[in-house]
Amino acid sequence: MREVAIIGAGMAGLSAAEQLRKAGHRVVIFEKSRGFGGRMATRRTGDFQFDHGAQYFTARGNAFVDQVAAWQEKGLVVDWGPGSYVGQPGMTALAREMAKNHTCITQAQVSRLERTPRGWRILDAQGEIAAPGNGTYHAVIFAIPAPQAEALVQSAGAHLPQLASAHYAPCIALMLAFEPETRAITDDWMRPDDSVIGWIARNSSKPGRPADHQSWVVHARAEWSRAQIDKDPNGSGEIMLAHFKALTGICAEPLHFAAHRWRYALVAKELGLPCLFDPSTMIGACGDWCLGARVEAAYDSGRAMGETLVEALAAIPA
């Protein structure tokens, strides 16, 4: 058994962790947020619930089709339209299921790695993060957006130059709730021809979501989001709300209003490689930025990273 640290508890990191667990290795996952899932995010505020990141996912390859079927048997995945799936009761349900087999350290803002004769140390701005096995990790996987991973990989002295080739588009997400009888469009989702908004979804139409109000998730277009990303998100949200009302015919004021900035929302240019690995340092990286802007791409990249590391660890003398 070897000790492995994974930075990031999104789909890619959790998929990699599962491959390592099956091979008998111990994994500790470090996540900067309070919960799991990355952009497969669900925000709960009082009685309101919003999937404000990934809206749904599809399954094409055999490995992910089988995984989705297993989640369906557990009631964690349901259909939301032909060929479109959502987590139940929220998108984070899948990440919570995958994380339960591992030690997870949340609200851990990793700032650098340090190599010692015994293994890798994971540090934040205050020093070593209290975690099982810290200081003895044989390998480290970065399962975070490529721009965030790049500086950390360099701090470890690893050589993964392809990281600089991955590019993202940002997105401003708006979360709205209205009284249940509020007049609205009849469709559950739409991709409007609008200069600001690129996606509107009735979150409350998804199975397992609260039905005592209408909840909506609105995503801004990438070009507009890029110009707004460093501005006050509430100001951006007010502009989006005006466009939302014009597009849907809803004139009422929302019961709930919140905006969120996704700086690394959508992969704009992927690497075309399943994962990256430097055997000289035992440092790897994976994510949807490797294979494409899909949940399945993140799963496949993490799976490939886990399999690559299992093989590398097997070659190390006991």
Task: Write the pLDDT tens digit of every residue in 257-313.
Answer: 999 999 999 999 999 999 999 999 999 999 999 999 999 999 999 999 999 999 999
In a domain, 49, yes or no: no
- Is the domain of 103 the same as that of 222? no
Which residues are CB-neighbours of 178 under 8 A, at least 6 positions away?
184, 213, 214, 216, 250, 252, 254, 255
pLDDT digits (tens, 9 = 90+) for 152-190: 999 899 999 999 999 999 999 999 999 988 777 888 999
CA–CA separation, 17 and 305 (whole Å): 9
Please report, for the chain, how many H helices and E strands are present, in that order. Answer: 8, 18
Contact 107, 36 (CB under 8 A): no
Tell whether 100 and 116 lie within a shared domain: yes
pLDDT of residue 268: 93
Q: Indicate if 22 and 105 belong to the same structural domain.
A: yes
What digits encode the pLDDT tens for the residues 46-67?
889 999 999 999 999 999 999 9
Residue 76 structure tokens: 């964690």
Domain assignment of residue 50, yes or no: no
What is the spatial distance between Cα 189 and Cα 204, in angstroms, rounded to a whole number? 11
Residues 67 and 22 in one domain: yes
Q: What is the pLDDT of residues 230-246, one digit of tens each?
A: 999 999 999 999 999 99
Q: State the Cα–Cα distance between residues 251 and 253, nearest whole angstrom.
A: 7
105/187 same-domain check: no
Question: Which CATH number do you get for residue 230?
Answer: 3.90.660.10
Residue 290 lies in a domain: yes
Where residue 168 falls (left for φ over 0; alpha for ψ -120 to 50; beta otherwise) is: beta
Q: Is the alpha carbon torsion for 217, 223, 229, 231 positive or negative? A: negative
Residue 18 and residue 162 share a domain: yes
The predicted model gives 200-216 an average pLDDT of 93
Beta strands in 221-304 (DSSP E): 256-269, 276-278, 283-285
For residue 206, give the DSSP letter: S
Using alpha carbons, select from 31, 29, 43 the residue that is nearest to residue 106. Answer: 31
In a domain, 51, yes or no: no
Domain assignment present for residue 226? The answer is yes
249 neighbors 184 (Cβ within 8 angstroms): yes
Q: What's the confidence (pLDDT) of residue 110?
A: 96
Q: Tell me, what amino acid is at 60?
A: R
φ, ψ (nearest 5 deg) of residue 5: -105, 135
List, in sequence order, every residue forming a beta bridge with 254; answer none if it has no partner.
Answer: none
CB atoms under 10 Å from CB of 273, counted, come to 16
**Do 215 and 192 share a structural domain?**
yes
Question: Is the same domain home to 216 and 114?
Answer: no
Query: Which of 294, 272, 267, 310 lies closest to 61, judged by CA?
Result: 294
Range of the domain at 218: 168-268
Q: Is residue 282 a contact partner of residue 141, using CB atoms and an 8 Å limit? A: no
Number of domains in the chain: 2
State pTM to two decimals: 0.95
What pLDDT, on the 0 to 100 scale, is given for residue 143?
A: 98
Question: Which pLDDT score is estimated for 256?
Answer: 96
pLDDT band at 211 (very low <50, low <70, confident <90, very high): confident
Residue 299 counted as domain residue? yes
- What would the pLDDT profile of 84-142 be if each residue is shown by its tens digit? 999 999 999 999 999 999 999 999 999 999 999 999 999 999 999 999 999 999 999 99
Same domain for 147 and 210: no
Q: Verify that 274 and 302 share a domain, yes or no.
A: yes
pLDDT score of 37: 94
Pairing of strands 197-202, 139-142: unpaired
CATH number at residue 75: 3.50.50.60
CA 150 to chain centre: 17
Question: Does one domain contain both 230 and 298?
Answer: no
**23 and 145: one domain?**
yes
